[in-house]
């Protein structure tokens, strides 16, 4: 079980946390003793979302904590209790009454305590939470572990997280769960994965395709594909300094599929899981691929390079073609693919694309239930012609300035045909400013929603 949690049988002496909105504060106060009510009124506590008040004992200890949540009619941040792990003094606490969702509140408590400690010591919080009644400690732990794995990988700077190090992370996960792994590296990519090789060949850090499998071949096949661009200069179409600043997170898709893989394997779902990660560094050298170059993809589609900074879809294309060859039940790819997605929906709400209405409905339901927001965007077929090339089967970028996230999804769709369902997630994998349960920095997006969907189908 996650070290921040305490089993319910060990709750003796733990400090109660009372959740109240402006509409429920009076009802909560009647459950407290008279000195606590007097102190609360004297302090002028307003039960607004995120505010807290520590109620003292006569001896100076902590008698209880009041924490403000939204009213019944307001839009609710189900991760708001995630602030508590960073706010409260050391000690063991329990939820005296339920926040809007006790399970998500407990998960947020753990996620909010995350610290990236590779390069400096962690701040000692010493805050622990008794698992609320009805909350599965093992389940919440595997989710929190997966999220922490993704955050650690994304937060690691590129000098310590290149293609080889991303492979090491995949191998460690495979070893943990008894999965098989095969890796194709460097010039061995040329014949079968030419687009992956083209993007990565300018870097002295050899590109590779990581292929991990777990489970029985007789079980339903689920394949995850994650963009593993460990740093993206933009290539010869070089990014400016601000555009390049956070490109260590351009392998966020790979990090999130590894997080999801951990959740699935730890749960022991009856699936045959496959994880494909094209891991590259998009660098600049005399060996770099160039605008107007043309490459024949694994699928046989020829691609003209309209912009070397649209490299993510190229490496995904070869991996998706490989995934599609065994016609799995589902292919899901995750990628920090387009700035257009951020313009449309911002950093917190990743778009997803699929032609399967049933899958889309399930994803939307689980995204809401898991507080892992997603928004379906259209695979608008009339825009497909924007990818036309005069001398190749297609261009890697649109001929227009609009609908960049949609045209990127349409590009990827051409490499999937046999799978029973496919979904593409254009994630940001980063929190620009800290939010409840989400510290600033690398973030695991879409994985929890997709995990819930697969657990519901195959659990």
Query: How many separate domains does the chain show?
Result: 2
Q: What is the CATH number of the domain that holds 35?
A: 3.40.220.10
**pLDDT score recorded for residue 430:** 98
pLDDT over 90 (residue 458): yes
> Which of 275, 278, 405 lies closest to 352 in space, CA to CA?
405
Q: In angstroms, how far apart are the furthest CA atoms of the chain?
A: 82
Domain limit, last residue, from 98, 133, 168? 133
Per-residue pLDDT band for 379 (boundaries 50, 70, 90) equals very high
Residues 127 and 227 in one domain: no
**pLDDT score recorded for residue 431:** 98
| pLDDT (tens digit per residue) in 245-290 | 999 999 999 999 999 999 999 999 999 999 999 999 999 999 999 9
Residues 66 and 198 in one domain: no
Mean pLDDT on 395-405: 96
Give the E-state strand segments of 104-250 in sequence order: 127-130, 180-185, 208-214, 221-226, 228-232
Q: What percent of the chain has pLDDT over 90?
A: 96
CB atoms within 10 A of CB 435: 18
Residues 194 and 57 in one domain: no
* Domain containing residue 67: 5-133
Element (H, E) at 369: helix 357-369
Q: What is the CATH number of the domain that holds 152?
A: 3.40.630.10
**pTM for the full predicted model:** 0.97
CB atoms within 10 A of CB 116: 17
Q: Which residues pair with 304 in a beta bridge?
A: 294, 395
Q: What's the mean pLDDT when you consider all of the chain?
A: 97
Residues 39 and 115 in one domain: yes
**pLDDT score recorded for residue 276:** 99
Active site (annotated) includes residue 313: yes
| pLDDT (tens digit per residue) in 45-98 | 999 999 999 999 999 899 999 999 999 888 889 999 999 999 999 999 999 999
**pLDDT score recorded for residue 200:** 98
Residues 124 and 242 in one domain: no
Residues 58 and 203 in one domain: no
| pLDDT (tens digit per residue) in 105-130 | 999 999 999 999 999 988 887 899 99
Residues 278 and 406 in one domain: yes
**pLDDT score recorded for residue 172:** 98
Exactly one of 37, 48, 51, 239 is catalytic; name it: 239
Residues 238 and 368 in one domain: yes
Residues 82 and 186 in one domain: no
Domain limit, last residue, from 100, 116, 133? 133
Residues 50 and 187 in one domain: no
Active site (annotated) includes residue 239: yes
Domain limit, last residue, from 133, 152, 179? 133
Residues 169 and 53 in one domain: no
Residues 13 and 77 in one domain: yes
**pLDDT score recorded for residue 125:** 79
**pLDDT score recorded for residue 75:** 83
Q: Which residues make Cβ contacts (< 8 Å) with residue 219, sequence separation at least 6?
A: 270, 271, 272
Exactly one of 205, 249, 267, 313 is catalytic; name it: 313
């Amino acid at each position: 079980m996650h070290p921040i949690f305490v089993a319910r049988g060990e709750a003796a002496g733990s400090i109660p946390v009372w959740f109240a909105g402006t509409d429920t504060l009076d009802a909560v106060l009647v459950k407290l003793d008279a000195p606590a009510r007097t102190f609360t009124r004297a302090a002028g506590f307003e039960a607004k979302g995120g505010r807290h008040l520590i109620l003292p004992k006569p001896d100076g200890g902590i008698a209880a904590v009041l924490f403000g949540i939204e009213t019944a009619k307001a839009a609710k941040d189900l991760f708001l209790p995630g602030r508590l792990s960073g706010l409260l003094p050391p000690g063991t606490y329990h939820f005296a009454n339920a926040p809007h969702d006790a399970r998500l509140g407990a998960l947020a408590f753990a996620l909010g305590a995350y610290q990236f400690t590779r390069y400096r010591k962690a701040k000692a919080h010493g805050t622990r939470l008794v698992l609320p009644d009805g909350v599965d400690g093992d389940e919440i732990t595997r989710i929190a572990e997966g999220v922490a794995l993704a955050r650690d990988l994304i937060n690691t700077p590129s000098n310590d997280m290149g293609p080889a190090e991303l492979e090491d992370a995949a191998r460690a996960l495979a070893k943990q769960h008894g999965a098989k792994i095969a890796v194709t590296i460097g010039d061995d990519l040329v014949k079968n994965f030419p687009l992956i090789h083209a993007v990565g060949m300018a870097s002295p850090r050899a590109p590779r395709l990581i292929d991990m499998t777990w489970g029985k071949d007789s079980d339903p096949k689920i394949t995850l594909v994650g963009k593993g661009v460990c740093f993206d200069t933009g290539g010869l179409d070089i990014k400016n300094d601000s555009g390049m600043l956070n490109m260590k997170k351009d392998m966020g898709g790979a990090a999130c599929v590894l997080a999801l893989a951990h959740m699935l394997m730890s749960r022991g779902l009856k699936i045959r899981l496959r994880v494909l990660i094209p891991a590259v560094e998009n660098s600049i050298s005399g060996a770099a691929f160039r605008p107007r170059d043309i490459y024949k993809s694994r699928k046989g589609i020829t691609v003209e390079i309209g912009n070397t900074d649209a490299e993510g879809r190229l490496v995904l294309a070869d991996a998706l073609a490989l995934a599609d060859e065994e016609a799995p039940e589902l292919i899901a790819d995750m990628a920090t693919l387009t700035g257009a997605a951020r313009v449309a929906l911002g950093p917190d709400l990743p778009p997803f694309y699929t032609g399967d209405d049933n899958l889309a409905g399930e994803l939307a339901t689980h995204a809401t239930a898991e507080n892992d927001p997603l928004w379906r965007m259209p695979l608008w077929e009339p825009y497909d012609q924007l990818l036309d090339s005069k001398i190749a089967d297609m261009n890697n970028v649109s001929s227009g300035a609009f609908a960049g996230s949609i045209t990127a999804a349409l590009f990827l769709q051409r490499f999937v045909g046999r799978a029973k369902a496919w979904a593409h997630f254009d994630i940001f994998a980063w929190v620009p400013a800290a939010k409840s349960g989400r510290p600033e920095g690398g973030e695991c997006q879409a994985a929890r929603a997709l995990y819930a969907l697969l657990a519901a189908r195959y659990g």
